[in-house]
Structures are given as structure tokens and as C-alpha cells.
């Protein structure tokens, strides 16, 4: 295991982060396979389990920066049309349209639909709110992003489409799961191996979009 001396002016937490990065096998794989982040393997592992990438051609990537998920999509689906959005700048990716803006901006959904040029097969969301250190507040803020992503997904997906989103420990709450089940035939939670064990992140995978006219009424 590689260890780093605590440099003058560097916080202990920063040194621990650097050590973890240097010893993380997924970081090494990402470099070796030319992915921009280890998060690429989270998507790969989720797809290996649920198969939501198969047959997709139009994909929206919410929270695209730094671009690892879209890299996976384009490598696996070279003919796909991908549109991504993030508040942070993202270096260009061949075959991907990138919007640098806040997804929560009221004009963002229309701009995404315009860039996509039609309905989507898949909406991916690796968005997470900036943490403030208060678990309940952090959870609520991230769940707000998941709900906004779900609303967008129900407006843009083709029947049979899927929505995959990052959630936090405990997964989506009961009301959100109920809403997803109203719109999708299956809703499952998963924590891919590439997600660090000490991380609170999980993912919710909603597949089989019923279409806006076919959503079952709440029970």
C-alpha cells in the first residue's frame, strides 16, 4: 500500500484522500482504460446487472461531469445520441452534446429535449447536491434532484425506457418509490461494487416506462 507523507500545508484528510486514490483499483483501471473517472465502472456494473443500455439510442446524462458515464455509453453504443448537462465544465466527448448549466434551471428540460431532438430511451442521473455536513439536509437536497430527474424522465422517455439515478443510504423514500412504480414496471435499488463501501451512495434503477398515458393511478 502506498503512503504519502503529510506535506506542509496539506490537511490530514487530503493526505488520506490521496492515499485512497493511489491504492484504489478502480482509479487504476480508469487510468488504464482511459476513462475520466472511476464512476465509469459503476455504470458498467449496473448495466451488467440490469441491462438497461441494450438497444438504447437516445440517452440523457444528468450531472455529466467529468464525463465517465457518457464515455461508457459511447463506447458500448457508438451510434447513440447522447446529451449531457452539468453546472461544471466538461471536456468534449465525441458524439455527445454537452450543456453547461444547472439542471434545476427551469429552462434546462426544454433545452435538453431540443438538443436530443426526440424522445429518450434512457435517462441517467449521477447528480448529487453539494453536501453541507448535515445528513438529513444532504439527503433531502439529493432526493430533490432525484425527483426532478424523475419528472424529466416521465416527460422525455419512450415507453419501455429506463431511469437510473444516484440516491443516498436507505435509497429512495417510500413516496418516491411509489411514484416510480406508478410509471415503471420494475424499480430496484443496487450498490455496485465500484461504489466505495464507506460511501452512502446507492442507485435506483427504474425500467419499463409505462408511458405518460399508461401510468397506474396511485393505490
For the annotated catalytic residues, the residue numbers are 166
Give the Cα separation of 123 and 126 in Å (integer).
10
126 is in an annotated binding site: yes
Q: Taking the CB of residue 170, how many other CB atoms lie within 10 A of it?
A: 10
E-only strand ranges, the chain: 58-62, 81-86, 96-100, 120-125, 157-167, 184-190, 202-209
Q: Which of 182, 148, 160, 187 is nearest to 171 (CA)?
A: 187
User: Do the beta carbons of residue 41 and residue 30 sit within 8 Å?
Assistant: yes
Give the Cα separation of 91 and 219 in Å (integer).
45
Give the Cα separation of 204 and 133 in Å (integer).
23
67 is in an annotated binding site: yes
Q: Please name the residue that has the C-alpha cell 453504443.
A: 77
Beta-carbon contacts of 163 under 8 Å, excluding residues fewer than 6 positions away, are 122, 123, 125, 149, 150, 153, 157, 180, 184, 205, 206, 209
Q: Which of 100, 70, 71 is nearest to 85 (CA)?
A: 100
86 is in an annotated binding site: yes
Annotated binding-site members for S-adenosyl-L-methionine: 67, 69, 86, 102, 126
Known binding residues: 67, 69, 86, 102, 126
Amino acid at each position: 500500500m502506498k503512503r504519502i507523507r503529510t506535506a506542509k500545508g496539506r490537511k490530514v484528510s487530503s493526505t488520506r484522500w490521496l492515499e485512497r486514490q493511489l491504492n484504489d483499483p478502480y482509479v487504476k483501471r480508469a487510468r488504464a482504460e482511459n476513462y475520466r473517472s472511476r464512476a465509469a465502472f459503476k455504470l458498467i456494473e449496473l448495466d451488467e446487472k440490469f441491462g438497461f443500455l441494450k438497444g438504447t439510442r437516445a440517452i440523457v446524462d444528468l450531472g455529466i461531469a467529468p464525463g465517465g458515464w457518457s464515455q461508457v455509453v459511447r463506447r458500448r453504443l457508438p451510434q447513440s445520441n447522447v446529451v449531457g448537462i452539468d453546472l461544471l465544465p466538461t471536456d468534449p466527448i465525441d458524439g455527445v452534446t454537452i450543456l453547461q448549466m444547472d439542471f434545476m434551471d427551469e429552462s434546462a428540460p426544454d433545452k435538453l429535449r431540443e438538443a436530443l431532438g426526440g424522445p429518450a430511451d434512457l435517462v441517467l442521473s449521477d447528480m448529487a447536491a453539494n453536501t453541507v455536513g448535515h445528513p438529513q439536509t444532504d439527503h433531502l437536497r439529493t432526493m430533490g434532484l432525484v425527483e426532478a430527474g424523475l419528472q424529466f424522465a416521465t416527460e422525455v422517455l419512450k415507453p419501455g425506457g429506463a431511469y437510473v439515478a444516484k440516491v443516498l443510504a436507505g435509497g429512495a423514500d417510500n413516496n418516491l418509490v411509489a411514484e416510480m412504480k406508478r410509471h415503471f414496471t420494475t424499480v430496484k435499488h443496487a450498490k455496485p461494487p465500484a461504489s466505495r463501501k464507506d460511501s452512502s451512495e446507492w442507485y435506483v434503477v427504474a425500467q419499463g416506462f409505462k408511458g405518460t398515458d399508461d401510468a397506474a393511478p396511485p393505490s
